Structure 1
Amino acid sequence: MISNLIQGQAFRSFSNEFLNLGVDAAAFGMGKAVIASSADVNSIYWNPAGLTKVEDIQGALMHAEYFQGIGKYDYAAFAKPINDESTFAVSFIRFGVDDILNTTELIDSQGNINYDNISLFSAVDYAFNVAYARRLPVQGLDIGINSKIVHRKIGDFASSWGFGLDAALQFQTESEWKFGMMVRDITTTFNAWTIDEEEFEKIQNAIPGENQAAPEKLELTKPKVQFGVSKSFEVFRDFNMLTEIDLNMRFSQTNDILSTSFLSIDPGVGLQFDYLKMAFLRVGVNNFQNFTDFDGGSTTSMEPNFGVGFRYKGIQIDYALANIGAASGTLYSNVFSVKVDIGYFR
Structure 2
Amino acid sequence: MNIGVDAAALGMSNAVTANSNDVNSGYWNPAGLIHLEDNQLSLMHASYFANIAQYDYAAFAMPIDDRSAWGFSLIRFGVDDILDTTQLIDSEGNIDYNRINLFSTADYGATFSYARSLQVPGWQYGVNAKIIRRIIGKFANSWGFGIDVGIQFERNDWKFGLMVRDITTTYNVWNIDEEKFQSIADAIPGENQELPESTEITLPKAQFGISRKFEFNYDYTLLSSLNLNMQFAKTNDIISTDGVSIDPAFGFEFGYTDLVFLRAGVGNFQNIQQIDNSEKVGFQPNIGLGFKYKGIQIDYALTDIGDQSAALYSNVFSVKVDLGIFR
Shorter-chain TM-score bucket reads over 0.9
- Equivalent residue, structure 2, for 1:317: 298
CA distance in 2, matches of 1:304, 1:328: 8
Matched, 1:192 2:181: no
What do the CA deviations read for 1:36-69 (whole angstroms, capped 9, x no partner)? 0000000000000000000110000000001110
Matched, 1:299 2:283: no
Compute the displacement of 1:176 (Å): 1.2
Q: Secondary structure at the match of 2:65?
A: coil
2:237 pairs, out of 256, 263, 267, with 256
TM-score, L = length of structure 1: 0.92
- Higher strand proportion: 2
What do the CA deviations read for 1:251-305 (whole angstroms, capped 9, x no partner)? 1111111111221111000000000111000000011011122223210111110
Asked whether the 8 Å contact 1:52–1:86 carries over to 2, the reply is yes
CA distance in 2, matches of 1:209, 1:114: 25
Aligned-residue RMSD, C-alpha: 1.2
What do the CA deviations read for 1:68-119 (whole angstroms, capped 9, x no partner)? 1000000000001111100010000000000111110111222111111111
CA distance in 2, matches of 1:139, 1:209: 63
Q: Secondary structure at the match of 1:144?
A: strand
- Equivalent residue, structure 1, for 2:190: 209
2:58 pairs, out of 50, 57, 76, with 76
1:99 pairs, out of 81, 90, 101, with 81
Asked whether the 8 Å contact 2:82–2:103 carries over to 1, the reply is yes
- Aligned-partner residue type, residue 75 of structure 1: Y
CA distance in 2, matches of 1:316, 1:72: 22
Amino-acid identity (%): 59
Matched, 1:286 2:228: no
Compute the displacement of 1:201 (Å): 1.2
- Equivalent residue, structure 1, for 2:248: 267
Structure 1 segment 11-26 matched on structure 2, within 5 A: 19-26=1-8
Matched, 1:137 2:119: yes
Asked whether the 8 Å contact 1:141–1:169 carries over to 2, the reply is yes
2:97 pairs, out of 104, 115, 133, with 115
- Aligned-partner residue type, residue 185 of structure 1: D
Q: Secondary structure at the match of 1:321?
A: strand
Q: Secondary structure at the match of 1:201?
A: helix
Number of equivalences: 326
CA distance in 2, matches of 1:142, 1:74: 29
- Aligned-partner residue type, residue 138 of structure 1: V
- Equivalent residue, structure 2, for 1:10: none
Q: Secondary structure at the match of 1:31?
A: coil
Stretch of structure 1 that moved more, 297-306 or 235-244: 235-244
- Equivalent residue, structure 2, for 1:127: 109
Asked whether the 8 Å contact 2:186–2:192 carries over to 1, the reply is no
- Aligned-partner residue type, residue 248 of structure 1: N
- Equivalent residue, structure 2, for 1:162: 144
- Equivalent residue, structure 2, for 1:172: 154
CA distance in 2, matches of 1:226, 1:270: 14
CA distance in 2, matches of 1:195, 1:327: 33
1:27 pairs, out of 9, 21, 38, with 9
CA distance in 2, matches of 1:136, 1:337: 31
CA distance in 1, matches of 2:95, 2:269: 47
- Aligned-partner residue type, residue 214 of structure 2: F
Compute the displacement of 1:205 (Å): 5.4
CA distance in 2, matches of 1:34, 1:59: 19
CA distance in 1, matches of 2:278, 2:235: 17
- Equivalent residue, structure 1, for 2:306: 326
Compute the displacement of 1:236 (Å): 3.6
1:36 pairs, out of 14, 18, 22, with 18
Asked whether the 8 Å contact 1:105–1:206 carries over to 2, the reply is no
Compute the displacement of 1:328 (Å): 5.2
Stretch of structure 1 that moved more, 246-255 or 187-196: 246-255
TM-score, L = length of structure 2: 0.97
Asked whether the 8 Å contact 1:48–1:145 carries over to 2, the reply is yes
- Aligned-partner residue type, residue 74 of structure 1: D
CA distance in 1, matches of 2:131, 2:308: 29
CA distance in 1, matches of 2:307, 2:18: 24
